[in-house]
Amino acid sequence: MNSPSYGATPTKLTQAEQDLLQSDRPGYGTRSRLEVAFNLVNATVGAGIIGLPFAIQNAGFYSGIVLSIIVAFLSQLGLHMLVVSGQRTGIYKFAGLVEHVMGRFGYNFLNIMIVVQAGGACVSYYILIGDTIPVLFGLYLPDYPLLADRRFVILLIGVTCVFPLLLSRSIGALARWSIVSVLCLPLIILTLLVRAPVYAPQHHAPLTLAGGDIFGALGIMAFAFACSQVAFNNYLSQADQTERGWAISTTLATVMSWITSMAFAIVGYLSFGTAVQPNLFLNFPADDMVVNVGRFALGFSMILTIPMGFYPTREAVQKMLGFETEDRQPTQVQHYLVTGVLFGLITTLGVLVQSLGKVYALIGGFAATTLAYILPATAYLVTRHYPQLASLEGTIAAKTPLLHGPSPSPSSSTLEIPIKLTWLDIAAGLLIVWGFMVMVFATAGVFTHP
C-alpha cells in the first residue's frame, strides 16, 4: 500500500485502517463541516443542559444570560487555541500536546481531568436515563414491574444500546447518530414550551439582575458548554482541516449549542422559578403525557450522547496505561479490553449515583474549567514561539501513515514568523485567569453551599 498524497484518501484502505488513521493524524478526515458541527453539539448539549435553568436561578436571570454568552464564546475560543497549538507542534492528541508543553506532570494531570470531566459526564447521562426511561416504563407498562426498576433499565440500555456504539476507534463513525441525537433536542424543548406555562402560575420566577451563587452557576455553565476533550477527535474526522473550515464548524456548533441550551434554560426557569431543580424534568408530575414525550426524547438522546464522553475517557485511560503513545495505537485486544472494563465501571457508577446537582458543579468547576480554558490557553501561549506551519499541506505531507511506522516530528514545510503580541495572546492570558477564578470559587461552592 502506497503512502497517500495530499487531498486524496487511498482507495485500498480498509474501513479499520481508515478508522485507525483518522483517529491519529490529519489528512484522513471524511466528515463535512456540518457533520462535525453536529458532533460537537452532541458532545456539548448533554446532561448539562438539564441543569441550566438551575444555573439561571443561581446566577440571576439577566446575569445568567450574559454569563452564558461569555462562557459559550470562551469555550469556542479554547477549541480554536487547542487546534492552532496542535498545528504548530504537529501533535493532534490533547494529552500529547500538553505533555509537549508542560512535561509529564501536565500529561498525567490532563488525563486525570479528562477522566473526571468526560467520564463524569457519562455518569450524569446514565443518571438522566435512570430519571426518565424507568418512569415511562412504570407508567405505560405496569404489567412489567422490572422495567420500572432504575438499576435494571440502566444495565439493560447500557448493554444493548450504548455498548455497541463504543466499539469503533474513531468518533467520526458516530456523526450520523449525533445528528439523530441533536434532532431530539427541539422535541424536548417543544414539550417544555407547551406544558411549562401550565405550571408557571404556581411558581414565582423573579427577573433578578444577580443571584446568590454566580460562581456555582458558572461551574454548571462551564460543564454545559465544554467539549474540548473531543476537539482533536472531531478536527481529525473533518475533511476540510483548514483553519477556516475548523472555525466554521466550531462557530456553527457554538451557536446551535447556545440557542438550544439557553432556550431550555430560560423556559425552565420562567416556569418553575426559585423551585427549579437541577434535573428540570423532576419538576413535572410523572403522569403528564406531553412532558413524557420530552422525557423519552431526553432519555433517547442521552443514550446517543454517552459515546461522546466515553471516547475521550477511553483515550485518556489508554494513554495512562501506556497502550497509546505518539508512535503507536492500542492493539485490538487492548482496545476492546479497555472499552469493556471502562464501560463496566461507568455503567456501575451510573447505577449507584442518583444526584445531579453536585455532579454538575464539581465537574464543571474543577475539570471543565481546566480542560476548556486553562490548558488550551496555556498551550497556545507556550507554542507561540514555535515556527508556524506554512500550510496544512505541509503538515499532511510530512506524515507517514501509522500503519507503516511512527509519525515524525514536524520539521519540514515550516515558515519562521516574527513573534509579536496579538489579541489572541492577550485573550489566552485572560482565559487562564478566568479559568482559575471560576475553578476556585465554583469548587469551593460545592462544599459550602447546601
CB 309 within 8 A of CB 118: yes
In this predicted structure, the answer to whether residue 128 has a pLDDT above a threshold of 70 is yes
449 — pLDDT class (breaks 50, 70, 90): low
The three cell numbers of residue 359 are 455532579
Q: What is the Cα–Cα distance from 186 to 340, expressed in whole angstroms?
A: 33
Which residues, at least 6 apart from 169, have a Cβ–Cβ distance to it below 8 Å?
A: 19, 20, 23, 329, 335
Q: What is the Cα–Cα distance from 388 to 414, expressed in whole angstroms?
A: 6
Q: Half-sphere exposure (CA, 13 Å, Cβ side) for 205?
A: 23
Residue spans of beta strands (DSSP E) within 79-205: none
**The predicted structure's pLDDT at residue 410:** 44
Q: Which residues of 281-305 are buried (b: 16+ CB within 10 A; e: fewer)?
A: bebbeeebeebbbbbbbbbbbbbbb
Q: What is the pLDDT of residues 247-264, one digit of tens each?
A: 888 899 999 989 988 888
> What single DSSP character describes residue 322?
T
The three cell numbers of residue 30 are 471524511
Relative orientation angle of helices 48-59 and 214-225, to the nearest 10 degrees? 160
Q: What is the Cα–Cα distance from 389 to 408, expressed in whole angstroms?
A: 15
Residue 199, number of CB atoms within 10 A of its CB: 16
Note whether residue 120 is domain-resident: yes
Torsion of CA 424, 428, 429, 432, to 10 degrees: 170
In this predicted structure, the answer to whether residue 422 has a pLDDT above a threshold of 90 is no
Q: What is the pLDDT of residues 55-89, one digit of tens each?
A: 898 899 999 999 999 999 998 899 888 988 888 88
Note whether residue 407 is domain-resident: no
Q: Which residues of 334-361 are buried (b: 16+ CB within 10 A; e: fewer)?
A: ebeebbeebbeebbbbbbebeebbebbb
Total structural domains within the chain: 1
Q: What is the Cα–Cα distance from 109 to 106, expressed in whole angstroms?
A: 5
Note whether residue 419 is domain-resident: no
Note whether residue 408 is domain-resident: no
Q: What is the Cα–Cα distance from 45 to 318, expressed in whole angstroms?
A: 26
CB 56 within 8 A of CB 64: yes
Residue by residue, DSSP assigns 51-80 as: HHHHHHHHH-HHHHHHHHHHHHHHHHHHHH
Q: What is the pLDDT of residues 360-383, one digit of tens each?
A: 777 777 888 888 899 999 999 988
- Which of 52-61, 235-244, 351-360 has the highest average model confidence (pLDDT)? 52-61
Mean pLDDT of 212-229: 81
Q: What is the Cα–Cα distance from 28 to 3, expressed in whole angstroms?
A: 12
CB 171 within 8 A of CB 308: yes
Residue 210, number of CB atoms within 10 A of its CB: 11
Relative orientation angle of helices 375-382 and 61-89, to the nearest 10 degrees? 40
CB 119 within 8 A of CB 339: no
- Identity at 167, one-letter amino acid code: L
Q: Which residues of 127-138 are buried (b: 16+ CB within 10 A; e: fewer)?
A: bbbbbbbbbbbb
Residue 203, number of CB atoms within 10 A of its CB: 16
Give the 3-state secondary structure of residue 325: strand
**The predicted structure's pLDDT at residue 346:** 94
Measure CA 370 to chain center. 13
What residue numbers bound the domain in which 325 lies? 32-378+425-448
Q: What is the Cα–Cα distance from 369 to 35, expressed in whole angstroms?
A: 26
Note whether residue 142 is domain-resident: yes
Note whether residue 420 is domain-resident: no
Q: What is the Cα–Cα distance from 278 to 255, expressed in whole angstroms?
A: 24
Q: What is the pLDDT of residues 264-296, one digit of tens each?
A: 889 888 888 888 887 788 888 888 899 999 999
Note whether residue 16 is domain-resident: no
Note whether residue 397 is domain-resident: no
**The predicted structure's pLDDT at residue 364:** 78
129 — pLDDT class (breaks 50, 70, 90): very high
> What single DSSP character describes residue 238?
B
> What single DSSP character describes residue 328?
B
23 — pLDDT class (breaks 50, 70, 90): low
Q: What is the CATH number of the domain that holds 181?
A: 1.20.1740.10
Q: Half-sphere exposure (CA, 13 Å, Cβ side) for 271?
A: 24
Residue by residue, DSSP assigns 334-382 as: HHHHHHHHHHHHHHHHHHH----HHHHHHIIIIIIHIIIIIHHHHHHHH
Mean pLDDT of 220-232: 81
Q: What is the pLDDT of residues 25-37, one digit of tens each?
A: 666 666 778 888 8
- Identity at 420, one-letter amino acid code: K
> What percentage of residues in the chain have a pLDDT greater than 90?
18
Q: What is the Cα–Cα distance from 431 to 77, expressed in whole angstroms?
A: 9
Q: No. of H helices and E strands in the chain?
A: 18, 2
- For the chain, report the end-to-end CA distance as a whole number of angstroms: 62
Q: Which pTM was predicted?
A: 0.72
